Structure 1
Amino acid sequence: MSGPNTEYDPVEVTPLRADEVEAMRDAALAAIAAAADLEELKQARLDHAGDRSPLALANREIGALPPQARKEAGARVGQARGAVNKALGERTGVLEAEHEERMLVEETVDVTLPTSRRAPGTRHPITTLSERIADVFVAMGWEVAEGPQVEAEWLNFDALNLGADHPARTMQDTFWLEPAVAALVLRTHTSPVQARTMLTRTPPIYVVCPGRVYRTDEIDATHSPVFHQVEGLVIDKGITMAHLKGSLDHFAAAMFGEGISTRFRPSYFPFTEPSAEVDLVCFVCRNGDASDPADCRTCRGEGWIEWGGCGVVNPRVLVACGVDPDVYTGFAFGMGIDRTLMFRHNVEDLRDVFEGDVRFAAAFGVEI
């Protein structure tokens, strides 16, 4: 039997030649030294120490050598890879230190400065909506009128044709102020502003009156003893219900989008004659334009939503406020601002509007 063959011809594998291994090592060390930040060093690591790097590929070629040549080639490649890994570790430490120093300079915070833990507030949505409503009518050439919230009984009731025996005068609806002989109330509507306007101005009159009002209602999801109304008043020659309808259609479109119209249902108010309740086309199902209007949660399949009241100004109100009803006619309307806000933004509980939680108001931003 013959012995092992110890004589062989070394197989020349180019990537494993000493000069090639040295060139790979030197290229890797140069790339590592040139890395200016951690991102560039990461790329250098992938290019020269990753699984597809030249030294890693050369290491795989060692298996192609005869057994007696593998030790020398393995040592040569291993030393080169060790030098690269050592350079990577040293350069990583240097760049991480530089990064931390730079961050300390760029992100310095003066902890001695005074600060506040209070969250920033925001304008209340009722305020912004009131101003938006006023803007709609100012753009039409109207004026904004205001009046006191503590009002004279005569302006709140008598001037508006609410007689002494009208149920709205009772304690069930009105907050009366003491002493009783002062005949002062917290206004139950913004209509006294209309009376004040007619008493102090000469027609033609085009005013809108947004404001806070009070009634002795129990607070629940849809009622509050404090709420907000907007009323409009027009006094001029030749004013008809047609002018009222057009004004309210424009108002509704401004609040709820194009294509929203109104309808009138006969009703009774002491200060207007004829009078009507104002309904809106449902802004969700568009009065049946939706695929299944019967499922509409907003109008429950009716196609219309009650919005407020309106009518032609009663001649008795004109006389009480010094306006000649034979020369002038007019119309008036009143809508709840809170109700409008609930419609526009799907607010389900009126108490959310008044409880003062900044998280509720913050959702509306500065404009709605």
Structure 2
Amino acid sequence: MSAATITVGGADPYDVVIGTGVLGALPGMVGPKARTVAVVHAARLTAISGPVVHALEEAGYAVHAVPVPDGEAAKDVAVLAGLWSRFARLGLTRTDAVVGVGGGAATDLAGFAAASYLRGIRAVLVPTTLLAMVDAAVGGKTGIDIPEGKNLVGAFHPPAGVVCDLATLVTMDRADYVSGLAEVVKAGFIADPRILELVEDDPDGAARPDGPHTRELIERAVRVKADVVGADLKEAGLREILNYGHTLAHAIEKAEEYRFRHGYAVAIGMVYAAELARLAGRLPQSAVDRHRAVLASVGLPVSYPGGAWPELRATMSIDKKSRGATLRFIVLDAVGEPGRLEGPDEKLLEAAYQEVAR
């Protein structure tokens, strides 16, 4: 099957190439002006970063592999500063490039390093997890974490291209793959109900990288994100819908010291947002029930400990979607019809949480 190419529009359009064995697309994305390429990769992914390095060397670039810590530990100020120094020692110039290889943490870090070094150099991303393919690597958001919260420091820096080689997914741990599926399901709830139907028709297949609809699910999720960020790169309005479920999710991740899978937190956050919309009179019970059913069918959690609410509520106050003292949520008025709920009553917030508490 040939590769699919999805173009993300906007001031600096770029392509997302999806398929198996598609690393040949990398040199065209790095471009003819670059001489030196730094391949920033998660330390344990040498089996995947090696072919990336080889593909770029074959195209004539001077390529340097730069390993970074695995997982969320990569998104650290000290790691970022180390990359800046390494780039300087390698002699990277404004016409050179950074290629980020790995999961969402690695691509977030590599993207931010590229955005901030020399005030911005070219970045190409090679996501190797489902979560990174459908979310982190597409859209131009880059960033790191600080003790006060996740992704609070970063920049909008669209990549020059994204290469999603589906062959990398077969090496994923099942729990990590299912975690990434939460972002696919999210795309279904906010914009493309066909995604939900595909999951409902074959939950077991949806939860496996070798499932019959894996490529279609990924393509559909990427198209949803591409359409949104192409119209609104810097989250001036429309792009906020991609944060469905994320207000509570980021609070959960901070409470768990980032040891909780992102997709697990997003799944719980979506159920919470659905309950909030129901209690606000905006979403029918049937739609809330569908959230629980779809997410649970693929093995995603739909509840969280009740005693955590005070800590979670405090963390949500510094959520990036807040405006001053006003807390903002993305909610649904129906499947595929997202909207905003601003400044909900505290009793409503807590009542919705009690619906997801266990």
Q: Give TM-score scaled by structure 2 length.
A: 0.26
Q: Give TM-score scaled by structure 1 length.
A: 0.25
Q: Point out the structure with the larger helix share.
A: 2
